[in-house]
């Protein structure tokens, strides 16, 4: 960045307090000092203090518009901010872009300018004369060549033929591409057979046996066969492929696979792929394996008999499932029912859950399981005779 120094005054040497300057890039361009940065065309408003200001700008083209009370020269002025370091004044940038010459010039300066203009005119006239002479010589040479007769095409009888235009080869064996009989086509066996036959429909016929070198022209049949060889035939050299790139494998793994690699997943004609049950966590699971696991999760748990306690002919049942104990009370009368084994007991506090009584539903009952495993049934009203309910609590799972 360079510091641009602005100092604006009128012809009386006075600044205007309300003047300001707009600075902007004339077009999008790359930054001179910041790699990868783009300079936008957004204007920069520069306020003036006593007609002066300093602002940091990028080197390069710059549009300067002075907003003042003046009615002349207020349009955008394009200047160049030079590269380098240190401050540069707006005046310097303007003077580098426009040369100011006073209206009155000395006689010496005017004579020097006229002499320089005369010298430039003489040089221009001399160049024009040289060009005219060269053009005249070229025209004379062309006219002389037109008067000379054209020798016959037989170089061995009439002498050497100058190679020019459509002629190629050597002077002794000139060659040209033109229309001709089939005997003069490129497939002809003669050593000098260099004529190419052009058919009436504009086609040029080239036979395959003549295509023996890299620079020879080819025909469609030659190109098609080369393309088919690349597409359909086997590779010219032994090579390897990734298994995922192989297509069209049989239903079973190919015999070239080693036993440890014989695990290709083959899709059937309907788009299905068969795999065995997974073993490790990263293996793919098949539908049968997933269905079996879902059934195991959703099926009713078969609790072993040693994890169940039944009292009152099955009216009260305690079932241990993991760390939980489920208690079901059905048609139980009031009183102490028994003592649970240690693995069924709550570890820290007594457990209570409510019971309902069909004899008097407004009088709730409750079932209590103490830390010692004592189970009892009670009612809040003697009119209630039997209780029904269910509860769950966490057992002392340190005891198994």
Q: Helix (H, G, I), strand (E, B), or coil: what is residue 298?
A: helix
Alpha-helical segments (H) within 329-383: none
Q: Which pLDDT value is given to residue 159?
A: 46
Short-list 361, 306, 356, CA closest to 330: 356
Per-residue pLDDT in tens (0 to 9) along the chain, 400 residues: 889 999 988 888 888 877 888 999 999 988 888 888 999 999 999 988 888 999 999 998 999 988 877 656 567 888 999 888 889 998 888 888 776 555 555 666 667 777 777 877 778 888 888 888 888 888 877 777 666 655 555 544 444 444 444 455 555 555 555 444 444 444 444 444 445 556 666 677 777 777 778 877 888 888 888 888 777 766 666 777 776 666 665 555 555 554 545 456 667 778 788 888 899 988 889 899 998 888 776 665 678 889 999 998 888 999 998 899 999 999 999 999 999 999 999 999 999 999 999 999 999 999 999 999 999 999 999 999 999 999 999 998 788 7
Q: Is the whole-model pTM more than 0.75?
A: no
Give the helix/strand (H/E) hosting 140.
helix 107-147
Distance, in Å, from the CA atom of 93 to the CA atom of 80, rounded to the nearest integer, reads 6
The pair of three-digit structure tokens given for residue 297, joined into one six-digit string: 């999760």
What DSSP letter does each residue of 225-248 carry, written as one string? HHHHHHHHSPPSS-----GGG--S
Q: Which pLDDT value is given to residue 73?
A: 59
The pair of three-digit structure tokens given for residue 95, joined into one six-digit string: 């003077």
Q: Helix (H, G, I), strand (E, B), or coil: what is residue 145?
A: helix
Q: Is the separation of the CB atoms in 175 and 194 below 8 Å?
A: yes
Domains in the chain: ranges and CATH: 2-97 (2.60.40), 174-235 (no CATH), 249-293 (no CATH), 306-394 (2.60.40.1830)
In angstroms, the first-to-last Cα distance of the chain is 82
Distance, in Å, from the CA atom of 208 to the CA atom of 211, rounded to the nearest integer, reads 5
Q: Which pLDDT value is given to residue 273?
A: 81
Short-list 274, 239, 242, CA closest to 261: 242
Q: 63-77 b/e with 16+ CB inside 10 Å = b?
A: bbebebeeeeeeeeb
> With 0-12 CB in 10 A as exposed, 13-18 as middle and 19+ as buried, what is 21?
buried
> With 0-12 CB in 10 A as exposed, 13-18 as middle and 19+ as buried, what is 190?
exposed
Q: Which pLDDT value is given to residue 10?
A: 81
């Amino acid at each position: 960045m360079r510091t641009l120094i602005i100092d604006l005054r009128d012809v009386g040497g006075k600044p205007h307090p309300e003047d300001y300057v707009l600075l902007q890039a004339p077009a999008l361009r790359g930054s001179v000092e910041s790699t990868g940065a783009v300079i936008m065309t957004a204007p920069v408003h520069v306020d003036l203090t006593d007609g002066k200001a300093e602002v940091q700008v990028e080197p390069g083209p710059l549009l300067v518009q002075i907003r003042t009370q003046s009615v002349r020269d207020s349009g955008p002025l394009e200047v160049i901010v030079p590269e380098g370091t240190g401050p540069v004044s707006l005046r310097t940038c303007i003077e580098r872009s426009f040369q100011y010459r006073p209206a009155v010039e000395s006689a010496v300066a005017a004579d020097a300018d006229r002499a320089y203009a005369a010298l430039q005119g003489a040089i221009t006239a001399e160049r024009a004369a040289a060009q005219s002479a060269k053009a005249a010589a070229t025209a004379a040479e062309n006219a002389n060549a037109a008067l000379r007769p054209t020798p016959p095409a037989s170089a061995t009888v009439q002498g050497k033929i100058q190679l020019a235009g459509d002629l190629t080869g050597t002077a002794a064996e000139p060659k040209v591409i033109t229309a001709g009989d089939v005997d003069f086509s490129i497939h002809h066996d003669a050593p000098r057979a260099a004529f190419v036959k052009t058919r009436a429909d504009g086609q040029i016929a080239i036979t395959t046996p003549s295509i023996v070198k890299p620079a020879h022209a080819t025909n469609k049949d030659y190109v098609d066969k080369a393309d088919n060889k690349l597409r359909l035939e086997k590779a010219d050299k032994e090579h390897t492929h990734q298994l995922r790139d192989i297509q069209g494998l049989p239903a079973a793994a190919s015999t070239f696979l080693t036993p440890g690699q014989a695990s290709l997943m083959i899709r059937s004609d309907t788009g299905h792929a068969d795999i065995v049950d997974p073993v490790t966590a990263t293996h793919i699971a098949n539908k049968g394996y997933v269905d079996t696991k879902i059934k195991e999760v959703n099926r009713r748990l078969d609790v072993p008999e040693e994890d169940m306690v039944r009292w009152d002919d099955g009216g009260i049942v305690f079932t241990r499932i993991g760390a939980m104990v489920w208690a079901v009370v059905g048609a139980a009368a009031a009183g102490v029912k028994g003592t649970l084994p240690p693995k069924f007991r709550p570890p820290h506090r007594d457990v209570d859950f409510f019971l309902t009584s069909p004899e008097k539903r407004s009088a709730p009952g409750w079932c209590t399981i103490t830390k010692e495993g004592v189970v009892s049934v009670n009612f809040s009203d003697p009119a209630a005779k039997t209780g029904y309910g269910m509860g769950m609590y966490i057992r002392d799972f340190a005891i198994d």
